[in-house]
Amino acid sequence: MTEVTDANRDASADETIRGCLSLIAPRSFFLFAGAGSGKTRSLKEALEGLDTQTLTTLRKHSRKIAVITYTNAAADEITRRVKADPVFQVQTIHSFAWSLIEGRTTDIRGWLKSNLQTEISEIQAAHAKGRAGTDAHDKREKKMASKTKRLERLTEIRAFTYAPEGDNFGRDALQHTEVIALAAHFLTESETFQNIVLARYPFILIDESQDTMKPLMEALLTFEARHRGRIVLGLLGDTMQRIYTDGLRDLDQRVGDFAQPAKQMNHRSRKRIVDMANSIRRDDDGRQQRAREDKPGGTVRVFLAPSAGTDRRAFEASACADMARITGDPAWQNPEAIKTLTIERHMAAARLGFSELFEPLSKPDKLKDGFRAGTLPAMRLFTHRVLPLVTAQRAGDIFAAMAVLRDSSPLVDKKAIRGARGDQATGLTAASAGVTALMTLFADDRDPSCAEVLAIVAEHQLFPIPDQLRPCLPENGPVADDMADFIAELGSVFDGLDLTAPENTSPPKTNITEAWTQALAAPFSQVERYLAYVEDRSPYGTHQGVKGLEFPRVMVIADDEHTRFKGLASYETFFEVKSLSPASQKKAAQGEETTIERTRRLLYVTSTRAEESLALVLYSEAPNTIRDFLISKGWVSEDEVVTAGPAGT
């Protein structure tokens, strides 16, 4: 009998997965893999463990194993691990969805026609109830006009286009939400489409499945149930680590007929930190992890301070000094050796100096997730085109500047040059003039607004202007004139206002164009700070940026005083300083997610990044109440809490 050790304790989970990946008796599974459990390793071993006969059969029949990841970086890593074997189709969820529907022009056109007709009817119904002369009335008319024009021009489209990682503009372009909706629709409504998917993929494996967009995940679950025994839907993840609002909240409750292997081990953190993580989730789903025997010890400290009157920088510096003394680890006094995580992005934006850019774009539902993750296509005009160009010009690196232009500027694009009968000199001259005009904005250390930068880029056609930004251009500018018809056609596709609701019933959602107009007033220097933040190159990180990563020393800062949207997360509510709001109580009664659930997830994800030592810095109007909560729940002992200043009650 094999001795059970920390190294093989979870071997049965991996064996279960291998057994499910069978062409003869396929079975779907949901692998529970908590923080530091080696989920990616299990996926890699499952793929590498496929026997030669299975792989040979797949290649013979031109079938593939779909592996869906949340980020391009994760896709690249898995591709590397399977040595780029073409039998494994490794993609992000948007790329996968597009691969399913690409080329189905007639079906896509039919879906768009039906969808547009439904949307127009809904707007017309709301319009009939609304009052003329209001802003909502005018917006509904514009939205109906744009959707009607798009509907009329559907027959002109010969093939639809889509860029999973880029901005999509043009009459033939599909938007990100449309691609997800189309794939979900065909998976559940088209028998022919379902048979094509079955023939192509015997196994569909989804990493971070708790964050897969709800419409597509629900469609995949329906598809799997309808064809059970013919396909494996393999889900890997942990619902406690769901970080985006569009994931399927009750995923673990929807897979009752799946095999459900679970991993017990946490290979990342020392025992004290694992115990803390177990305490955080004990009152939720009760799942508990086990620390490795060769990782005993570890340090957890909670530092409490009053919200009012506390010098936060001084208090956090003092906490670092205390951690250095308590742990005997002098690196705690080296800011570069500490990973500081802020649960509240707004606090990080304020501390890093890009609030004017951050605040407007963090509100609309259609912008916030992409903006916070650094994947919002329209923002990439500034972060991945203009900023590298300006940086190269400032450094006097003409080669780097030309590389940016060759990659992204239509002025030096090979196709454009061929279309202009080879007049490359004209394109280069125009590009040079545009760059000169752009850099004039930065003369004498000036920090122009993003709106000024956008106007110059558009005027000189340095880079394509994304759809969301076109309405923000000067009305009589060259791009605005050239694209007037296009904007009239698609301008309201990105409108975030709920135009189907009667006026004056509730505060309107932030309009997309209004959000961009506000954000573009920010100094351009904030673009670089924002990019450093989302690429995790700043002193602060978030639960999104660090999920899956690990650090020896972690400081988590929670400060409700600096939380802009208090309904999303509240530590004072979680720690019973404040009562659950009536709205949250109503949501809880209806089975919806509450502030407490969201806050618990954020605390779990951030705390479980720590390997050796963890400091929780909490600001509250009543620090003693939090102290009593933590001790009474058994999360910490009395000597693990440090309270500064007048504690309150």
- The pLDDT tens digits of the residues spanning 104-152 come to 999 999 999 999 999 999 989 988 888 887 877 877 887 888 889 989 9
Domain match, 364 and 328 both: no
Look at residue 261 and tell me whether its pLDDT is greater than 70: yes
Question: What do you get for the CA distance between the two ends of the chain, in Å?
Answer: 57
Residue 202 lies in a domain: yes
How far is it, in rounded angstroms, from Cα 100 to Cα 396? 45
Q: Which of 487, 519, 551 is the last residue of a domain?
A: 519
Domain match, 214 and 280 both: no
Domain match, 385 and 278 both: no
User: Is the model more confident about 134 or about 324?
Assistant: 324
User: Is the model more confident about 386 or about 369?
Assistant: 386
How far is it, in rounded angstroms, from Cα 539 to Cα 246? 28
Q: What are phi and psi of 580, to 5 degrees?
A: -65, 135
Percent of the chain with pLDDT over 90: 56
Sequence-distant (≥ 6) Cβ neighbours of residue 525 within 8 angstroms: 447
Domain match, 552 and 609 both: yes
pTM attached to this predicted model: 0.77
Domain match, 27 and 60 both: yes
**DSSP secondary structure code for residue 236 in this structure:** E
Domain match, 191 and 298 both: no
- Give me the long-range contacts of 255-259 (CB less than 8 A, separation at least 24): 255/28, 255/30, 255/221, 257/28, 257/225, 257/228, 258/27, 258/28, 258/29, 258/30, 258/233, 259/16, 259/19, 259/20, 259/27, 259/28, 259/29, 259/30
Domain match, 398 and 437 both: yes
User: Is the model more confident about 348 or about 464?
Assistant: 464
Residue 222 lies in a domain: yes
Residue 352 lies in a domain: no
Domain match, 562 and 488 both: no
| Whole-number pLDDT of residue 568 | 64
| Domain count within the chain | 4
How far is it, in rounded angstroms, from Cα 84 to Cα 82? 6
Mapping DSSP to helix (H, G, I), strand (E, B) and coil, where does residue 306 land? strand
Mapping DSSP to helix (H, G, I), strand (E, B) and coil, where does residue 237 land? strand
Tokens of 332: 């705690």
Q: Determine the length of the chain.
A: 649
Domain match, 24 and 68 both: yes
Sign of the four-CA dihedral 86, 88, 94, 99: positive
Burial of 534 (0-12, 13-18, 19+ CB in 10 A): buried
* pLDDT tens profile 548-576: 578 999 999 998 876 554 456 788 999 99
Contact 258, 16 (CB under 8 A): no
Residue 533 lies in a domain: no
Residue 535 lies in a domain: no
Residue 154 lies in a domain: yes
Domain match, 88 and 205 both: yes
Strands (E), 223-329: 232-237, 262-263, 265-266, 290-291, 299-306
Contact 584, 594 (CB under 8 A): yes
What does the pLDDT average to over 485-502? 34
Domain match, 456 and 318 both: no
How far is it, in rounded angstroms, from Cα 271 to Cα 294? 9
| Whole-number pLDDT of residue 142 | 78
| Whole-number pLDDT of residue 166 | 59
CATH number at residue 86: 3.40.50.300
Q: What are phi and psi of 466, to 5 degrees?
A: -60, 155
- Domain of 144 in residue numbering reads as 105-159
Look at residue 326 and tell me whether its pLDDT is greater than 60: yes
Domain match, 405 and 461 both: yes
CATH number at residue 336: 3.40.50
| Whole-number pLDDT of residue 477 | 52
| Whole-number pLDDT of residue 83 | 81
Q: Which of 251, 266, 281 is the last residue of a domain?
A: 266
Residue 338 lies in a domain: yes
| Whole-number pLDDT of residue 218 | 96
| Whole-number pLDDT of residue 546 | 57
How far is it, in rounded angstroms, from Cα 60 to Cα 51? 14
Residue 169 lies in a domain: no
Q: Which of 229, 245, 266 is the last residue of a domain?
A: 266
| Whole-number pLDDT of residue 212 | 86
Sequence-distant (≥ 6) Cβ neighbours of residue 405 within 8 angstroms: 389, 411, 412, 431, 435, 462
Look at residue 378 and tell me whether its pLDDT is greater than 60: yes
